[in-house]
Amino acid sequence: MTIEPARQASLVSMFLAQAASRPDRPFLWRRDRGEWSARTWSECRREVSEAYRGLRSLGLARGDRVVLVSENRPEWLLADLAIMATGCSTVPAYTTNTVESHRHVLSNTKARGAIVSTPAL
């Protein structure tokens, strides 16, 4: 089934429609220790829903900005979808930024939240 982008209200609604129409099919792949594994659409939908609920429980709401600091990996997309589902705006930042650069991004954007890929970040 092909979904026409013009018929969808947002990227999040397109994602949810695809997840509903193909729940057990592979969606995102990752390579770990030389082995490839896939997450299904339904697994990804569950992860996005959990992240969405977490963002909402922190008090984040439509119009807020959330900094996303992560390497290029499947979780980046899932976090971005959760941020969009909350009505927030994603502020991407490089993992290689200095502390001062991160401070600048956080203060300049007036971000109310941040998602980072590692405790060091």
Q: Are 64 and 31 in contact (CB under 8 A)?
A: no
Which residue type sits at 37? Answer: S
Q: Are 84 and 90 in contact (CB under 8 A)?
A: yes
User: What token pair was written down for 43?
Assistant: 């697994």
**pLDDT tens profile 54-108:** 999 999 999 999 999 999 999 999 999 999 999 999 999 999 999 999 999 999 9
Does the global pTM surpass 0.85?
A: yes
CA atoms within 13 A on the CB side of 15: 23
Percentage of the chain lying above the pLDDT 90 cut: 88
pLDDT band at 120 (very low <50, low <70, confident <90, very high): confident
Residue 3, pLDDT above cutoff 70: no
